[in-house]
């Protein structure tokens, strides 16, 4: 019996190779900026060296999205490098290193913040220079707004209109300066909601979050995950594990909305294809707290924190080791906004 299941597993992995991409998010590459959102130039170089030494394929976000949209398997061990918030050190420090390694990457920028010119941000000449050097320039909303829900006193319709204007104005400005128009929106603070995803989708945009996880063919294109690689995540041991993650094949997320409406702690309910991990090895966490997944049927589990989540942003993470790919973990993260 054991032998039979082993052969089944080999057959499955030959027919449906387990492949996934990982998208990394950076902000600062500097040693005099807040540690939580920074890597030093030396750390950043060590990340790039690690990718090279271990044969990860660093691809552009355009290439990954084309594979996903066409339903092709994503490039194996693919890594996409991204930067948010357009800090000047992206141009002065990160850009030369990325050019040295010949790695494509994307910057998500908020044109309104660049226009204001306050803070250590890129100016438009630098953005144009990076674009001319082949850097992909994409949308981080006009003013880096909290986008997930209406402000106090704002109707749903007013909120939608304001968000639409922010997204389209930012896209137009980026196109005007760089000639690039990708229609990729990285949600500021990683905050999104089902209503925002609907708008993003209606506008023909891709939506990108800041919750962790690998990207595979069942990933939803209005909430692609990214792993943070700065601060306490800058360590190579930590990065090495994140780079070896796989995307669960989620068949139903039961309409989960990151914005906590009524019941807190919220419940995450997921239906999955279970072909390359053991149900017993699924582990879920809220921060460092271990949560107990409850299996509702053969392929569906639910999980909740034991205490209400505090105000602001939090996450549930669920992982399970891959059976076919040694040293790799499936990884799913659900962001919450309270």
Sites of contact with Zn ion (CB under 5 A)? 84-85, 188
Q: State which residue has the least CB distance to Zn ion.
A: 84
Our CB check for Zn ion shows the closer of 85 and 276 to be 85
Give all strands (DSSP E) within the chain, no chain letters. Answer: 21-26, 28-29, 38-39, 57-58, 78-84, 106-109, 136-139, 184-186, 206-208, 227-228, 245-246, 250-252, 267-272, 283-286, 289-291, 294-297, 300-304, 313-321, 329-337
User: At closest approach, how far in Å is the CB of 195 from Zn ion?
Assistant: 20
Structure tokens at 156: 């749903």
The SS3 call for residue 84 is strand
User: At closest approach, how far in Å is the CB of 188 from Zn ion?
Assistant: 5
User: At closest approach, how far in Å is the CB of 186 from Zn ion?
Assistant: 7
User: At closest approach, how far in Å is the CB of 144 from Zn ion?
Assistant: 6
Structure tokens at 297: 């049927």
Our CB check for Zn ion shows the closer of 84 and 276 to be 84
User: At closest approach, how far in Å is the CB of 189 from Zn ion?
Assistant: 6
Our CB check for Zn ion shows the closer of 84 and 171 to be 84
| Contact indicator for 197, 135 with CB cutoff of 8 Å | no
Residue 139's DSSP bridge partners are 109, 185
User: At closest approach, how far in Å is the CB of 168 from Zn ion?
Assistant: 19
User: At closest approach, how far in Å is the CB of 210 from Zn ion?
Assistant: 8
Our CB check for Zn ion shows the closer of 91 and 277 to be 91
Our CB check for Zn ion shows the closer of 43 and 85 to be 85
- For 133-215, where are the alpha helices, taking DSSP H only? 156-178, 194-202
* Half-sphere exposure (Cβ direction) of 163: Cα atoms closer than 13 Å: 29
Our CB check for Zn ion shows the closer of 109 and 291 to be 109
278: Cβ contacts below 8 Å, ≥ 6 apart = 320, 323
Terminal-to-terminal C-alpha distance of the chain: 48
Our CB check for Zn ion shows the closer of 147 and 247 to be 147
């Amino acid at each position: 019996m054991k032998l039979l299941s082993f052969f089944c597993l080999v057959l499955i992995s030959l027919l449906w190779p387990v492949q996934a991409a990982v998208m990394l998010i950076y902000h600062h590459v500097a040693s005099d900026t807040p540690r939580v959102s920074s890597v030093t130039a030396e750390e950043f170089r060590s990340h790039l060296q690690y990718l090279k030494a271990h044969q990860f394929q660093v691809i552009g976000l355009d290439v990954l999205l084309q594979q996903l949209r066409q339903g092709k398997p994503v490039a194996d061990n693919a890594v996409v490098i991204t930067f948010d918030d357009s800090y000047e050190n992206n141009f002065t420090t990160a850009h030369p290193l990325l050019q040295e390694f010949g790695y494509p990457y994307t910057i998500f920028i908020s044109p309104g913040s660049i226009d204001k010119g306050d803070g250590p941000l890129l100016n438009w000449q630098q953005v144009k220079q990076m674009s001319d050097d082949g850097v992909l320039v994409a949308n981080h909303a006009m003013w880096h707004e909290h986008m997930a829900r209406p402000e106090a006193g704002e109707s749903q319709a007013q909120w939608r209109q304001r968000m639409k204007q922010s997204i389209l104005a930012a896209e137009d400005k980026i196109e005007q300066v760089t000639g690039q128009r990708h229609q990729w929106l990285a949600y500021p603070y990683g905050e999104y909601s089902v209503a925002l995803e609907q708008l993003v989708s209606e506008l023909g945009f891709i939506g990108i979050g800041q919750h962790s996880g690998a990207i595979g063919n069942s990933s939803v294109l209005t909430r692609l995950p990214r792993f943070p690689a700065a601060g306490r995540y800058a360590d190579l041991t930590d990065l090495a594990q994140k780079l070896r993650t796989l995307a669960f094949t989620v068949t139903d997320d039961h309409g989960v909305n990151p914005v906590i409406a009524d019941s807190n702690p919220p419940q995450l309910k997921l239906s999955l294809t279970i072909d390359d991990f053991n149900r017993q090895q699924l582990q879920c966490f809220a921060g460092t707290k271990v949560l107990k997944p409850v299996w509702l049927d053969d392929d569906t589990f639910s999980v909740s924190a034991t205490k209400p989540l505090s105000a602001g942003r939090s996450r549930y993470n669920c992982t399970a080791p891959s059976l076919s790919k040694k040293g790799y973990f499936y990884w799913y993260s659900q962001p919450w906004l309270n």
